A and B are shown apart, each in its own frame.
Chain A
Amino acid sequence: MTEAIADLEPRVRRIVTRWDHDPTGLVQILREVQEEFGYLPPPAAVEIARLLRIPYSRVTGVASFYSFMALQPRGAYRVLFSDNITDRMAGNERLLEALCHRLWVEPGKVSEDGLVSVGRTSCTGLCDQGPALLVNGIALPALTDERVQNIGELILARVPVADWPAEFFVVHDNVRRADVMLAHGLKPGDPIRAALQRGTQGWSERAANERSWREAYVGAAQGPIATLEEVKRSNLRGRGGAGFTTGIKWEACRHATGLERYVVCNADEGEPGTFKDRVLLTSHADLLFDGMTVAAYAIGASRGFLYLRGEYRYLLEQVESVLERRREANLLGAGICGQPGFDFDIRVHVGAGSYVCGEESALIESLEGKRGVPRNRPPYPVTNGYKQQPTIVNNVETLCAAALIAVHGGDWYRGLGTLKSSGTKILSVAGDVARPGLYEYPFGVTIRQVLDDCGAVNTQAVQVSGPSGMCIDATEFGRRIAFEDLPTAGAFTVFDASRDMFEVARNYAHFFAHESCGFCTPCRVGTSMLVAAMDKIHAGNGTQHELREMNRLNRVLLMSAHCGLGHTACNPILDTLKRFRPAYERKLRSLEFTPSFDVDGALGRARQMTGRDDAGAHLEEQK
């Protein structure tokens, strides 16, 4: 299968050298080697292991964890259809079939001539302009029948993806309602200058992130401390879903003992239905990097990472150019804004198709070049994070909010939103709505208000915060987006009365099984058992037994799963079972026994092999 590849070793060596021969860069090295060769040829894996002085099995063990990495050739063109429920609703399955038909390839397989493979992937963060796909890792939204035909022709004509029409790759921001964040009006560096200014207003003009004798003087007027106090006063809470108070996290990290501190921005926006970080990174990257730099100032960090999800690989060059421009403007690097000792720089790590890496400790494992498995906690990243050093991991939107707070102050921010949820929240609105896109509201907005604003009619349900969040029905549209009522990481997926909520839950069940890291028994096996039960109901073979079984699985996952993925994997099923039970019961067989084996189905393979599908090839008494 593997042919000799020209200059393989020097090409691999060049990439490994770029990452300083450091095994913590393994995920990035593998990603770049894959971009170089289209997959990870075993001789390249051998060479990586040799150069990094790590076992070969670690290289393949890590590579096989990430769904975008392949140790076998997958074709010169690798097409992955985004498979979120919103893509399904917009007809992605029909388009996938059409493309496969045109290219004469089976989904999930490589064409016989090695030209192309077509498959499915988890939500690509383009729900406001789906259906979408990734071609050789680059996002391509707004698919239509015509465009899919064109894509087929381009592949068959072997036109390099770089030469495809540029309009295919245009991703729109779709900002529908902007509030203090999306309409911030700040210039690059304003938040940093404001933070430094705040420091000199008091009695001290101390250097930023030197951590020496003056640690003993935790005076409120000290520069970094003053910024920390503003963030604490703002009562800003994490925007990634868990809602931990940002100021407390920063303070714990600042006070933790370590050799070095790290600021990590979690841009691994993997929750199906959310895409706000895509827009923040596209159009407000400076605000984000200002926020990270302010955070570095407050906690005393000199290194930062942006962990960009693999699906947003197409943003990498643009993000890197913003970083470069900021280095030139002295907004990154040594002595930022002329402040002696204020040294900070940011490196971008790109993910490779793993939802669980959005969990902060799994993200850190991935940053360290490992399989993205969540760690045992305690200890938490604020004391034992990247390389076991004090580390803060914050969501993109959280860091952008911190930048606003640095400029306008904690009291200003706290004046927005509700009592327990200060500030604004960006919602990623998609599904059955007239105007999908980003809507930024002060916390406390009702579901009904959002639905009115986005032009949703005849709404049956809203999935708030994606599958790991909550599914609500029309009786609950008076509820509010806030930590005290409906907390959310941002996804807001709308389903009208025509949608089958069972199929919504089934799509999400498949998502969790696909994304389970496999570390713990309950999640590894349990999420697959959930899929089996949902698929059985879908196939018309379900009974009350399956409903009981799913309740039992949920108990097991809640009691014993290792991380949030497992704890929330049952949510979509339980929520829809509670509110839309008829959608399930319609599909159940009213039988007392459990038909676990479909005799006629077992003949399917024989029918396929013989090319027969007539009555004689089926058992009698079907259905």
Chain B
Amino acid sequence: MNERPTFLLDGAEVAFEPGQTVMQAALAAGRYIPHLCYHPEFKPHGSCKVCTAKVDGRMMAACTTPAATATEVESDTEELNELRRTLVQMLFAEGNHFCPSCEKSGNCMLQALGYDLGVMTAGFRHLFPDRPVDASHPEILLDFNRCILCELCVRAAREVDGKHVFALAGRGLDKHLIVNAESGRLADTDVAVTDKAVSVCPVGVILRKRVGFATPIGERRFDGSPISQQALVDAPRPLEKHHD
């Protein structure tokens, strides 16, 4: 194999392909950096800031920062993990998250990240926003209470489904997910239950109807192993055969 360029992640060398971000290179090399709005199949945009790492002393989102030769990246430090715990607390406080009654419990990345990072308290006074659900569609339920504004559904609809089912509206704390219909109802969009956008939600906003709890609690994605391990199982591996 050719000599690939490398950078240091928490003191250990990580090889990367030119064009990869710090996050992509780390996951491909079997190294975990906590993340929420990053998804290996979509263009990173860096909004949740959970993957914030110190790149040559500067705070950067690992998912959008291009990997560069001989840079030193710090990620698994108490300072950064404390930051991540606070960001997770902020996301919990911003929405209405009631894990015990949520169908996504055990499959939810926000919940799994909270457990893995050791978030033990609420941290902030919850904002309890008023976010009505949209049950208009016969096969899909939208529960906006759990939205963390990661835009994965927006990106999946645009990049994979070739549709514009989801979009963002509003600004600041009022920023929220909308659907592409004058009525504002999902039933009036061209969404299909088979769309990538429907399955990509990392939390419990976009839910298929009538399949709830098909997998019992205890046998779900993050029940067996923490998200820090599961993310590596899911990560795309470098395809060695591409090297001539």
* Same complex: yes
Interface residues of chain A, those whose CB is within 8 Å of chain B, are 42, 45-46, 55-58, 60-61, 64-67, 354, 371, 376, 378, 513-522, 524-529, 532, 552, 555-556, 558-562, 596
Distance A55 CA – B178 CA, assembled complex (angstroms): 12
Interface residues of chain B, those whose CB is within 8 Å of chain A, are 45-50, 52, 59, 61, 64, 66, 83, 86-87, 90-91, 93-94, 124-125, 127, 148-149, 164, 166-175, 178-182
Please give, as numbers and ranges, the residues of chain B lying within 8 Å of A561 by CB-CB distance.
49
Known: A57-B178, A61-B178, A518-B171. A560 touches B125 (CB 8 A): no
Distance A319 CA – B93 CA, assembled complex (angstroms): 46
Distance A45 CA – B167 CA, assembled complex (angstroms): 15
Q: Contact between A529 and B90 (Cβ–Cβ < 8 Å)?
A: yes
Q: Return the chain B residue nearest A597 by Cβ.
A: B125
Q: Contact between A562 and B46 (Cβ–Cβ < 8 Å)?
A: yes
Q: Return the chain B residue nearest A42 by Cβ.
A: B182
Known: A60-B169, A371-B168, A513-B173. A522 touches B49 (CB 8 A): yes
Instruction: Enumerate the 3 nearest inter-chain pairs by beta-carbon distance, A residue then B residue, closest first.
Output: A518-B175, A57-B167, A55-B164
Distance A61 CA – B174 CA, assembled complex (angstroms): 12
Please give, as numbers and ranges, the residues of chain B lying within 8 Å of A559 by CB-CB distance.
52, 59, 83
Q: Which secondary structure dominates chain A's binding surface?
A: helix
Q: Contact between B87 and A556 (Cβ–Cβ < 8 Å)?
A: yes
Please give, as numbers and ranges, the residues of chain A lying within 8 Å of B66 by CB-CB distance.
378
Q: Return the chain B residue nearest A65 by Cβ.
A: B171
Q: Contact between A376 and B64 (Cβ–Cβ < 8 Å)?
A: yes
Known: A528-B127, A552-B86, A560-B87. A517 touches B171 (CB 8 A): yes
Most buried by B among A354, A376, A555: A376
Give chain A nearest CB distance to B60 CB in angstroms. 10
Known: A64-B171, A517-B171, A518-B173. A596 touches B90 (CB 8 A): no
Please give, as numbers and ranges, the residues of chain B lying within 8 Å of A60 by CB-CB distance.
167, 169, 178
Give chain B nearest CB distance to A64 CB in angstroms. 4
Distance A185 CA – B118 CA, assembled complex (angstroms): 66
Q: Return the chain A residue nearest B166 by Cβ.
A: A57
Please give, as numbers and ranges, the residues of chain A lying within 8 Å of B173 by CB-CB distance.
513, 516, 518, 524-525, 528
Known: A521-B48, A522-B87. A513 touches B168 (CB 8 A): no
Q: Contact between B172 and A518 (Cβ–Cβ < 8 Å)?
A: yes
Distance A440 CA – B31 CA, assembled complex (angstroms): 55
Most buried by A among B93, B170, B172, B175: B172
Which of the residues B124, B148, B171 comes within 8 Å of A67, measured between beta carbons? B171
Which of the residues A58, A61, A521 comes within 8 Å of B90, measured between beta carbons? A521
Distance A327 CA – B80 CA, assembled complex (angstroms): 56
5 A–B contacts, CB within 8 A, in A order: A55-B180, A66-B171, A517-B172, A525-B124, A559-B83
Q: Contact between B179 and A525 (Cβ–Cβ < 8 Å)?
A: no
Please give, as numbers and ranges, the residues of chain A lying within 8 Å of B170 by CB-CB distance.
64-65, 518
Distance A55 CA – B158 CA, assembled complex (angstroms): 11
